Amino acid sequence: MSPDGGDWATWWVGEAALADDAEDVQVEEDEVLRLDLTAMPAARIRGAVSEPFATAGGSRGETGESDGSVTEVVVERQTDDAWVEVARVRPGRAGRYEVDGLAAGRHRVLVDSPRSGIVHAPSATSEDDARVVELGVGQAAEVDVVVPPPALVTGRLTTSTGLPLPDREIRFSTGYRVVDPRFPALPTTTRSVRTDSEGRYAVRLGTGLWSVQTDLRCRGPQQREVDVVAGQDMASDLVEDAVATVSGQVTDRAGRPLSGVDVFLSTPGSVCGQAATTDADGRWTLTGVAPGRARIEYAVTTRGSQLRYFHPGVTKPGLATRVEVALGATVTGVDADLP
């Protein structure tokens, strides 16, 4: 405890505030070495976090998931090379926080909000506008942070011809993190919203780069992204052309329906393929198909082994027939007979 009631700051040999800046001390065997260190009282930063929109509800039809994080205050200290995090605390009553045990130097305060993203004091969404506090030995500073509301992102989901897509779920994801190197990175925060009868949507998002999925069968970050800044509402119209329907029947050479056959369909430029399984009558249907010349494969599993065929029932890809799928079309009669 320092004379003023606060913590002592941690100082390294050479009066360094960080271990990387400390002087190395060479000690020989059986040597008695005297090191004189000066204990100095710590500096501190305290203040209040105002986040009036922390518990506000989302837009109509909006849902979301996060990694369970809560609002935290982060104090960083400037080194020769970068800003280094030296403390992370949760605000208490009335949003008050206090960080003691700081060494002298240049510091800045930011708030990590699960709703609005990263906000630097006093209310900056860019670190270029962050307030920097110069602290001397034993000094204290008051640093308040006002967290802006999440941005309201609005727009329409339509086909490339302008046809609105009602009652469609759109998912926004950010904070991708690799949990297992064998698999794609997973988002730490997602927000979902459903379009209205005219294909319109509205969702509140925090600062960051969000990937957008209009086809939830696809996994991992997609090509479409929106760059969001908390407190700055924006419009972003989205296009989805995977709206066609393709159906058919699979039979054997004698015309008997084959059930349990896996059907795979892919079209050029589509971000993900489609799959279905034939029913008792050998019939299958796929919705949400992108336009283009569709390639269709059939997989038959018998006694643990799988045989693959290409439409309309050939074994070589070069002999396969592709199926033309127009934008928004309903294609029927895509039948195949397998050996």
3-state SS of 297-331? EEEEEECCEEEEEECCCECCHHHCCCEEECCCCEE
Q: Tokens standing for 39? A: 């204990």
**Residues 6 or more apart from 328 whose CB is under 8 A from it?**
159, 161, 163, 243, 244, 291
Please tell me whether residues 43 and 132 are part of one structural domain: yes
Please tell me whether residues 271 and 173 are part of one structural domain: no
Can you give the pLDDT at residue 119?
A: 95
d(CA 156, CA 143): 41
Please tell me whether residues 49 and 138 are part of one structural domain: yes
Q: Specify if 197 maps to a domain.
A: yes
Q: Are 222 and 212 in contact (CB under 8 A)?
A: yes
Can you give the pLDDT at residue 263?
A: 97
d(CA 290, CA 313): 23
Please tell me whether residues 166 and 227 are part of one structural domain: yes
Helix, coil or strand: residue 217: coil
Count of domains observed in the chain? 3
Q: Specify if 34 maps to a domain.
A: yes
Please tell me whether residues 62 and 80 are part of one structural domain: yes
Please tell me whether residues 225 and 258 are part of one structural domain: no
Please tell me whether residues 157 and 214 are part of one structural domain: yes
Can you give the pLDDT at residue 221?
A: 46
Can you give the pLDDT at residue 7?
A: 54
Q: Specify if 253 maps to a domain.
A: yes
d(CA 284, CA 261): 9
Can you give the pLDDT at residue 5?
A: 47
**Residues 6 or more apart from 241 whose CB is under 8 A from it?**
159, 160, 290, 291, 327
Q: Specify if 334 maps to a domain.
A: yes
Helix, coil or strand: residue 88: strand
Q: Tokens standing for 251? A: 């039979």
The enclosing domain of 24 has a CATH number of 2.60.40.10
Bridge partners of 299, per DSSP, are 262, 308
d(CA 43, CA 103): 6
The enclosing domain of 230 has a CATH number of 2.60.40.1120
Please tell me whether residues 104 and 199 are part of one structural domain: no
Please tell me whether residues 26 and 133 are part of one structural domain: yes
Q: Specify if 163 maps to a domain.
A: yes
Q: Are 45 and 143 in contact (CB under 8 A)?
A: yes
Q: Specify if 28 maps to a domain.
A: yes
* Residue of 43, 142, 46, 45 whose CA lies nearest to 102: 43
Query: Which residues form the domain of 49?
Result: 19-146
Q: Specify if 230 maps to a domain.
A: yes
> Of the candidates 115, 146, 177, which is a domain's last residue?
146
> Of the candidates 215, 239, 263, which is a domain's last residue?
239
Please tell me whether residues 212 and 317 are part of one structural domain: no
Instruction: Give, as one character, the DSSP assignment of residue 214.
Output: S
Please tell me whether residues 127 and 48 are part of one structural domain: yes
Please tell me whether residues 171 and 211 are part of one structural domain: yes
Can you give the pLDDT at residue 28?
A: 84
pLDDT tens per residue, the chain (339 residues)? Answer: 344 444 555 666 666 666 667 778 888 888 888 877 766 788 999 999 999 876 545 555 555 555 556 899 999 999 888 999 999 999 998 999 999 989 889 999 999 998 899 999 999 999 999 999 999 988 999 999 999 999 999 999 999 999 999 999 999 998 887 878 887 777 778 899 999 999 999 999 999 999 999 987 765 445 689 999 999 999 999 999 999 999 999 999 999 999 999 999 998 867 677 899 999 999 999 999 999 999 999 999 988 889 999 999 999 999 999 999 999 999 999 999 999
d(CA 271, CA 259): 28
> Of the candidates 125, 146, 167, which is a domain's last residue?
146
Q: Specify if 255 maps to a domain.
A: yes
Helix, coil or strand: residue 94: helix
